[in-house]
Structure 1
Amino acid sequence: MSQIIDVAHLNYRYPQQSADDLTLKDISFSVAAGEWVAIVGHNGSGKSTLAKNLNGLLAPASGTITVDGEVLSEDTVWNIRKKIGMVFQNPDNQFVGATVADDVAFGLENQGVPRDEMLARVAAALKQVNMSDFATREPARLSGGQKQRVALAGMIAAQPQILILDEATSMLDPRGRAEVLQTIQAMKVAGNLTVLSITHDIDEAASANRVLVVNDGELKEEGTPAEIFRHGPELIKMGLDMPYAERLKAALKRQGVQVPADYLTEKGMADWLWQLSSNK
């Protein structure tokens, strides 16, 4: 697969920091078109700062970011932002329209999309996230999960090549989180969408193709979810929690149960427990 994002030796410092005090330190990685990459780490590790560097909201101290063949710069930032959709932790900060439909249309109006096409894209986007019945509602009166789906609808209508989720599910309950992630997975499959999920939720990261672990502004680990989660208790030293299935395996092992050495998803764990029970 071709690379759609390439980050090379990225360093970033906030204005109040000294020259040798960096929030991001020599970070390099690539993302293939159509890939889902989870960037995980504890609060304050630099994940959100990295996300804001990727679409030009923050300017790096040094290093390069290349998106779809274009190096991010003052001259290219607006063109690159057309290719990247971003959903933040609190969707209230993104709402600008008086109604749900107005808000979804806002980005299209800025792009000069013809009205007939705009209305069709707004309607299709709201249908995709199951929010068509709420088109005339005020965004502020929606639930947390509904607000996030509206924010996603705005991204769907804009048709970006890349979607960045900056802690987009952290304020949702488990049901709302599952609904949002299912919607994003459907978007990814339907449009070969590239997804970067900035999260500290290790269970959310399990749905990604690849996981990057950021700690204290440095890229510490990179691999598939199975490769990363195989570290088990070592994840805690990186400021992360262990996935539920791994926590359960550790608890069973302490009780003297022989558990599989390989990483298991929650479904894999359920299947293994069923087989274990059936063999008794």
Structure 2
Amino acid sequence: MEPIVELKDLTFRYQPDDEKPALDQVSLTINEGEWVAIIGHNGSGKSTLAKTINGLLLPENGEVRVKGQTLAEENIWAIRRAVGMVFQNPDNQFVGATVEDDIAFGMENQGIPREDMVTRVQEALEQVRMTPFATKEPARLSGGQKQRVAIAGVVALRPDVIILDEATSMLDPEGRFEVIEAVKKIKEKNQLTVISITHDIDEAANANRVLVMKQGRLFKEGTPEEIFSAGPELIELGLDLPFPEKLKLALKAQGLEVPSQYLTEEGMVEWLWTSVLNK
């Protein structure tokens, strides 16, 4: 796989006299087609990192490269076209009177011909399963529906990378499930690279790779299995555990011998059925 995002020795301070930088010499590579989750406690630097990739924040030191281009003032808009962002509160992104108007807004700003816009709006609505709501007011949608519309607005611009910046944190479990399922399908259909900034460990479990941020530095990285198997260490970092890992710890506390490897929910159900309930 080819690198699509490369960060080298990235340092960023919100104020010049801040003693501790929000990002402290962060280096990482994200490959084309990957789903990478970035997790960490509040203030760990994960959202700041996302905004430097998109060029919303310019680093004090270091280098950001997207699709082989080094981020600079002269190409910042090209970088932003390549990297779409979906934020925490979808209401802050809505500008159109209807769902379809809102999805079309970004394309209007890019000067995309109307015939292409109409096709892209329809395709984006289909991908997030919101076609029946095309003429509805965004304000009247549920939280999960609003976030799916926000994702559709980004998808219609056809970026190479989508960053979900705490995009599910304000949603209920059903809304989170709707959004993540939509992202999975869009990623597969469009061969997108997904960067998920999240507190939701179950969301992070969908990733190919998980990066753990701590105090502005890249603390640890690995597959979900590798990261979530270190349960107590995650708790010390102020992070939650996926439900299967919580269940394993509870069963272990009751004296049961549990698998050492990380289990998905499906894997946990299979283990319980074959190793515990059938005994």
Q: Same fold (TM over 0.5)?
A: yes
User: Contact (CA 8 Å) 1:7, 1:64: kept in 2 or not?
Assistant: yes
Q: CA RMSD in A?
A: 1.0
Match of 1:10? 10
CA distance in 2, matches of 1:148, 1:179: 9
CA distance in 1, matches of 2:150, 2:34: 21
Match of 1:101? 100
Residue 209 of structure 1, CA deviation: 0.2
- 2:17 aligns to what SS in structure 1? coil
Match of 1:29? 28
Match of 1:231? 230
> What is the one-letter code of the residue matched to 2:85?
M
Match of 1:266? 265
> What is the one-letter code of the residue matched to 1:240?
L
- 1:241 aligns to what SS in structure 2? coil
> What is the one-letter code of the residue matched to 1:241?
D
CA distance in 2, matches of 1:278, 1:251: 16
Match of 2:203? 204
CA distance in 1, matches of 2:240, 2:127: 33
CA distance in 1, matches of 2:18, 2:167: 32
Match of 2:251? 252
Match of 1:117? 116
1:1-280, aligned counterparts within 5 Å?
1-15=1-15, 17-18=16-17, 20-280=19-279
> What is the one-letter code of the residue matched to 1:93?
N
- In the superposition, the TM-score normalised over structure 1's length comes to 0.97
- 1:158 aligns to what SS in structure 2? coil
User: Contact (CA 8 Å) 1:205, 1:211: kept in 2 or not?
Assistant: yes
CA distance in 2, matches of 1:56, 1:108: 19
- 2:62 aligns to what SS in structure 1? strand
User: Contact (CA 8 Å) 1:215, 1:239: kept in 2 or not?
Assistant: no
> What is the one-letter code of the residue matched to 1:5?
V
> What is the one-letter code of the residue matched to 2:188?
V
CA distance in 1, matches of 2:247, 2:178: 25
Residue 90 of structure 1, CA deviation: 0.1
Residue 258 of structure 1, CA deviation: 0.7
CA distance in 2, matches of 1:8, 1:265: 33
Cα deviation, 1:153-212, whole Å, max 9, x if unaligned, reads 111211110000000001111111111101101111111100000001111111100000
- 2:231 aligns to what SS in structure 1? coil
CA distance in 2, matches of 1:73, 1:177: 35
CA distance in 2, matches of 1:277, 1:258: 10
CA distance in 2, matches of 1:231, 1:21: 27
Gaps of 5+ in 1: none
Residue 225 of structure 1, CA deviation: 0.4
- In the superposition, the TM-score normalised over structure 2's length comes to 0.98
User: Contact (CA 8 Å) 1:40, 1:198: kept in 2 or not?
Assistant: yes
Residue 277 of structure 1, CA deviation: 3.6
Spell out structure 1 runs of 4+ moving beyond 4 A: none
CA distance in 2, matches of 1:242, 1:153: 30
% identical aligned pairs:
60
Residue 20 of structure 1, CA deviation: 4.0
CA distance in 2, matches of 1:176, 1:273: 28
Cα deviation, 1:197-241, whole Å, max 9, x if unaligned, reads 000111111110000000111110000001111111111112211
CA distance in 2, matches of 1:277, 1:259: 10
